[in-house]
Amino acid sequence: MISLIVILAIGLVAAFWITGIYNGLVRGRNEVKSAWSSIDVQLKRRYDLIPNLIETVKGYAGHERQTLESVIHARQQAIDFTGSVEDKAKIENALTSSLRSLFALAEAYPQLKANENFLSLQEELASTENKIGFARQYYNDAAMRYKNRVEVFPSNIIANMFAFQPEAFFQVDAAEEKVAPKVKF
C-alpha cells in the first residue's frame, strides 16, 4: 500500500513538472507571437506613411521616377508578403534601403527639404523606424528566451515531445547597417 502511494506521488510530481514545462513553453511561444505583432503594427504604420511621403516628394522631384517607383514597389512587396520571419526581414531591409534613397534624393532639392509637410512626414517616419527597432529588439529577446526553453535540458525533452520549434530572429541583413559609422573631423 505504501509503495502504491509513493508511486502515485512520484507520478503526480512528474505530471506537475511536465505540465509546468509545457505551460512555460506555450507562454514563451505566445510571447514571441505577441512581440511579432508589435513589429507588425509598426510596419503597418510605416506602410501608411510612405504614400504621403511619396506624394510630397513627387511635387518637387517628379522626374526622379525610378527612385519613387522603387519605394512604391518595395512597400507593396512588404505589404503583400506572408512568408517566414527571415524572408520578411529581407523584404523590410529592402524597403528601408529604398527609403534611404528617397531621403538622399531629398538632399538634392532644397525646397523639398524645407517643406513643412515633408519634414513632418520625415520626422514621423524616423519615429516609426525607432519604434520598429525597439519592437524588433523585444521580439529578438522573446525569441531568444523561447529558443533557450526549447533547447535547454530538461525542457528540450518536453519541447521535442510536443514539437515546439524555436522561432527565427528578425535580423538586419544589410551590410552597411552592421558597420559602425566612421566619424571624421
In this structure, is residue 174 part of a structural domain? no
User: CA-CA distance, 47 to 10, in Å (whole number)?
Assistant: 55
Cβ atoms within 10 A of the Cβ of 80, count?
8
In this structure, is residue 182 part of a structural domain? no
User: CA-CA distance, 98 to 131, in Å (whole number)?
Assistant: 19
pLDDT at 174: 55
In this structure, is residue 177 part of a structural domain? no
Instruction: Give the single-character DSSP code of 170.
Output: -
pLDDT at 41: 92
Q: Work out the pLDDT band at 180, boundaries 50, 70, 90.
A: very low
In this structure, is residue 176 part of a structural domain? no
Please give the residue range of the domain that contains residue 133.
Answer: 2-169
With a cut of 70, say whether residue 182 has pLDDT above it.
no
The overall average pLDDT reported for the chain is 85
pLDDT at 10: 95
1-19: average pLDDT = 93
Q: In the chain, at which residue ranges do the beta strands (DSSP E only) sit? A: none
Residue reference for cell 558597420: 179
In this structure, is residue 151 part of a structural domain? yes
109-115: average pLDDT = 74
Query: Please, what is the Cα angle at 3 between 18 and 23, to 5 degrees?
Result: 10
Burial 143-155 (b: 16+ CB within 10 A, else e): beebbebbeeeeb
- Under a CB-based contact definition with an 8 Å cutoff, are residues 85 and 166 in contact? no
34-48: average pLDDT = 92
In this structure, is residue 35 part of a structural domain? yes
**Structure confidence by residue, pLDDT tens digits, 134-146:** 999 999 999 999 9
In this structure, is residue 185 part of a structural domain? no
* Listed residue (116, 135, 148, 184) closest to 29, CA to CA: 148
* Listed residue (123, 132, 101, 4) closest to 52, CA to CA: 123
Displacement of CA 93 from its chain's centroid (Å): 10
- Under a CB-based contact definition with an 8 Å cutoff, are residues 31 and 132 in contact? no
pLDDT at 104: 81
| CATH code assigned at 62 | 1.20.1440.20
Q: Work out the pLDDT band at 126, boundaries 50, 70, 90.
A: confident
pTM of the model: 0.76
- For the chain, the domain total comes to 1
With a cut of 50, say whether residue 181 has pLDDT above it.
no
Q: Which carries the bigger pLDDT value, residue 21 or residue 109? A: 21
Name the most confidently modeled range: 56-70, 71-85, 164-178. Answer: 71-85
- Under a CB-based contact definition with an 8 Å cutoff, are residues 105 and 61 in contact? yes
